[in-house]
């Protein structure tokens, strides 16, 4: 069991807090709004209506013992930055901050956030990629230079093995997993097992390589 603190209980923060709790972890959820705290209270370890930008308050709540913290204060840039600084002051090392603009991202990154999370932009990119290709099933961006994509097996690859296709050399990509849709089984790739039309592939590569894959038939 790990201990997490979530500051800001809007849709994103509330979902993160309850999901972490469902996974068996201890979760302290903090928001300034008492009604929001009352709603989420039964779904986390402890929910508190408090000012999370106050170092004294965070110390009193024992937040410094958290393994990581998530800051999700909506579009209130000031509260987001102050909460990040307060978390650092009480000794939390891993701090993830939901951002709402590029300026917000630059500020929290400069102030030492472990990661800035821009869910709307990430979801928009994934949807745009999916809409522009019938082959693309799921897309996850991992930074600007890397991504994971689930895709149907192109016709020209069916019946061939990954060893025969030599995808790392030929296409500069790596197959991470194979999903057998008929059995609904996800497996570590077997280099000598022929691919079938019922398979989908989870592949990792640069965005440029992944985009080129969508044009394969």
Phi and psi dihedrals of 36, rounded to 5?
A: -65, -45
CA separation for the pair 166, 169 (Å, rounded): 6
Residue 21 confidence (pLDDT): 95
- Token pair recorded at residue 61: 């709540």
Q: What is the mean pLDDT of residues 8-23?
A: 94
Beta pairing partners, 94: 68
Query: Which element (helix H / strand E) includes 107?
Result: helix 102-110
End-to-end Cα separation, the chain, in angstroms: 46
In the chain, domain spans: 3-117, 122-213
Residue 193 confidence (pLDDT): 92
pLDDT in tens, 68-100: 999 999 888 999 999 999 999 999 999 999 999
pLDDT in tens, 124-171: 665 565 555 555 556 666 666 777 888 888 888 999 999 999 999 988
Residue 207 confidence (pLDDT): 79
Q: What is the dihedral of CA 8, 14, 19, 22, to 10 degrees?
A: 100
pLDDT in tens, 24-71: 999 999 999 999 999 999 999 999 999 999 999 999 999 999 999 999
pLDDT in tens, 178-206: 988 777 788 999 999 999 888 888 888 88
Residue 22: pLDDT band (50, 70, 90) is very high
Q: How many residues does the chain have?
A: 217
Which CATH number describes the domain made up of 122-213? 3.30.70.1450
Which CATH number describes the domain made up of 3-117? 3.40.50.720
Query: For the purposes of burial, counting CB atoms within 10 Å of the CB of 28, is it exposed (0-12), middle (13-18) or buried (19 or more)?
Result: buried
3-state SS record for 21-73: HHCCCEEEEEECCHHHHHHHHHHCCEEEECCCCCHHHHHHCCHHHCCEEEECC
Residue 143 confidence (pLDDT): 62
Query: Which element (helix H / strand E) includes 149?
Result: strand 147-152
CA distances from 68 to 17, 32, 40, 80, 143 (A): 12, 20, 19, 16, 21
- Supply the pTM of this predicted model: 0.66
């Amino acid at each position: 069991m790990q201990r997490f603190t979530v500051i800001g209980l809007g849709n994103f923060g509330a979902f993160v807090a309850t999901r972490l709790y469902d996974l068996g972890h201890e979760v302290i959820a903090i928001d300034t709004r008492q009604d929001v705290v009352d709603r989420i209270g039964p779904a986390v370890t402890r929910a508190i209506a408090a000012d999370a930008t106050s170092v004294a308050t965070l110390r009193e709540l024992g937040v410094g013992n958290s393994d990581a913290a998530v800051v999700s204060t909506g579009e209130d840039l000031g509260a987001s930055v102050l909460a990040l600084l307060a978390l650092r002051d009480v000794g939390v090392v891993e701090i993830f901050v939901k951002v709402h603009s590029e300026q917000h991202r630059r500020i929290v990154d400069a102030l030492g956030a472990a990661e800035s999370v821009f869910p709307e932009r990430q979801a928009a990119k994934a949807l745009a990629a999916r809409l522009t290709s019938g082959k693309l099933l799921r897309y996850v961006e991992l930074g600007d230079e890397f991504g994971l994509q689930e895709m149907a097996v192109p016709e020209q690859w069916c019946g061939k093995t990954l060893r025969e296709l030599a995808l790392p050399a030929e296409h500069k990509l790596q197959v991470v997993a194979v999903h057998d849709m008929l059995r609904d089984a996800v497996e570590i790739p077997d280099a000598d097992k022929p691919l079938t039309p019922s398979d989908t592939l989870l592949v990792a590569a640069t965005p440029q390589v992944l985009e080129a894959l969508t044009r394969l038939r």
